[in-house]
Amino acid sequence: MITVTVRYFAALRERRGLETELMQTSETTTIGRLYAQIFPPGPDGALPVAYAQNHVRVPGATPLADGDEVAFLPPLGGG
């Protein structure tokens, strides 16, 4: 198992009720799979997000490592 710090922003922070949390996951988990585990498709649906690992944007297939900081970046509304 590895431990990562997950940061939530905007609507995801509201849905999760947290800004940050530590999570344990398997060594084979990708950032996209972690997002799907935390926010599974359902009545509210999963928001499309960008992924960041250690302050760098990465694709969903990027594997996680122990101690990583992960952020899920939902689209921002405005006008």
pLDDT of residue 11: 87
CATH topology for 2-73 is: Ubiquitin-like (UB roll) (3.10.20)
| Residue 41 pLDDT level (bands cut at 50, 70, 90) | confident
| 53 CB-near residues (< 8 Å, 6+ apart) | 31, 62, 64, 68, 69, 70
* Residue 6 confidence (pLDDT) above 90: yes
Tokens of 17: 């009720």
pLDDT of residue 45: 65
What residue spans define the domains of the chain? 2-73
Quote the mean pLDDT of the chain. Answer: 91
The pTM (predicted TM-score) of the whole model is 0.89
Largest CA distance in the chain: 43
